[in-house]
Amino acid sequence: MTSSSNRLTAALKAAGFHLCLSLLVAALAAALVFGLWYPYPYRELVGGRALFMLVVGVDVVCGPLLTAVLFNPAKARAELARDLTLVVLIQLAALGYGMYSVALARPVHMAFEVDRLRIVTAAEVQPEDFAKTKFPWNTLPWTGPSLIGVRDIIDSDDMMKSLDLSLQGNEPSQRPHWWQDYSLSTPAVLKRAKPITALRNKHPQEASQIDAAVRESGQAEATLLWLPLTSFRTTTWVALIDAKTAQPLAYAPLDGF
């Protein structure tokens, strides 16, 4: 009985130490994911928080749990080292696969597309499209989402090709060879954007939420406009933009259509 009690105490201590290390690794991963890949409001628009919490939650629980099951101070040092090494390798493999999944789903651009800002994720871009794309649009950013524009349709032939691609689920904002610097789209952005009064008229019951977004922007309401903000996951957000520069300044979960 004493031997079993000692074994349980030692196993729990080892599992506790493993849990602390796992939480430290999870915190570092969270800093990368939420500080760089999924800053606000992207994590709300593409669901990054839920995916990351699922991946890390399983990883943090399983590693220490396996340590608690396998740890036994009565084992030979070599056998114990082998068991714990195997646990760590399994945990790192699971974390690596999870982080790969999170990276694949990460938002890479906020693109102005016709009459809205749309979040584009890495998974939505076809790799083969990079072959017909010039620098700097032939790669996806790893340092967080960037603000870009989408070029206009050139002619009727271009329109038909674009329509065909859209019917296949490949929207203009998902095509690297259509991407352009946001400054080139600024006139179109300002032309399509609407005053905040229009948003208030559209959502009279959400005055407090609109007020909060205006405060978040750091500017006077008269100097702001808004556009619908969408992603593959939701169409019920808006972005408040500077009426002169067209730069997004604040966001609110309100239907913009």
Label residue 3 by pLDDT band (50, 70, 90).
low
Task: Name the range with the highest mean pLDDT among 29-43, 64-78, 179-193.
Answer: 179-193
Q: Is residue 19 one of the residues assigned to a domain?
A: yes
CA distance readout (Å), 208 to 184, 205, 213: 34, 8, 9
- Radius of gyration of the CA atoms of the chain, in A: 24
141 and 179 assigned to the same domain: yes
Q: Is residue 169 one of the residues assigned to a domain?
A: yes
Q: How many domains does the chain have?
A: 2
97-101, 187-191, 232-236: least confidently modelled range: 97-101
pLDDT for residue 65 is more than 90: no
| Predicted pLDDT of residue 249 | 97
Please answer whether residues 240 and 248 qualify as being in contact, where contact means their C-beta atoms are separated by less than 8 angstroms. yes
| Predicted pLDDT of residue 91 | 87
200 and 242 assigned to the same domain: yes
11-25, 51-65, 240-254: least confidently modelled range: 51-65
How far apart are alpha carbons 29 and 23 in whole angstroms? 10
How far apart are alpha carbons 146 and 139 in whole angstroms? 12
Structural domain ending residue among the three candidates 104, 119, 153: 104
Label residue 177 by pLDDT band (50, 70, 90).
very high
Q: Which two tokens stand for residue 254?
A: 């309100």
pLDDT for residue 147 is more than 60: yes
Cβ atoms within 10 Å, residue 237:
22
Please answer whether residues 201 and 228 qualify as being in contact, where contact means their C-beta atoms are separated by less than 8 angstroms. no
pLDDT for residue 226 is more than 90: yes
Label residue 48 by pLDDT band (50, 70, 90).
confident
3-state secondary structure 131-164: HHCCCCCCCCCCCCCEEEEECCCCCHHHHHHHHH
For residue 38, give every residue at least 6 positions away whose Cβ sits within 8 Å of its Cβ, in sequence order, or none: 46, 48, 49, 52, 106, 107
**Tokens 């952005």 sit at which residue?**
189
- Stretch 11-21: mean pLDDT, rounded? 87
114 and 133 assigned to the same domain: yes
97 and 113 assigned to the same domain: no
Label residue 1 by pLDDT band (50, 70, 90).
very low
Q: Is residue 257 one of the residues assigned to a domain?
A: no
How far apart are alpha carbons 62 and 19 in whole angstroms? 10
Q: Is residue 36 one of the residues assigned to a domain?
A: yes
| Predicted pLDDT of residue 236 | 94
Q: Is residue 22 one of the residues assigned to a domain?
A: yes
245 and 136 assigned to the same domain: yes
For residue 53, give every residue at least 6 positions away whose Cβ sits within 8 Å of its Cβ, in sequence order, or none: none
How far apart are alpha carbons 234 and 254 in whole angstroms? 11
Q: Which two tokens stand for residue 29?
A: 């991963």
DSSP letter for 230, please: E
Q: Which helix (DSSP H) or strand (DSSP E) does residue 50 occupy?
A: helix 48-70
239 and 134 assigned to the same domain: yes
Q: Which residue range is the domain that position 53 belongs to?
A: 2-104
Please give the torsion angle defined by the CA atoms of residues 27, 31, 32 and 35, in that order, rounded to the nearest 10 degrees.
160
Structural domain ending residue among the three candidates 63, 87, 104: 104
* Mean of all residue pLDDT scores within the chain: 91
Q: Is residue 246 one of the residues assigned to a domain?
A: yes
pLDDT for residue 2 is more than 70: no
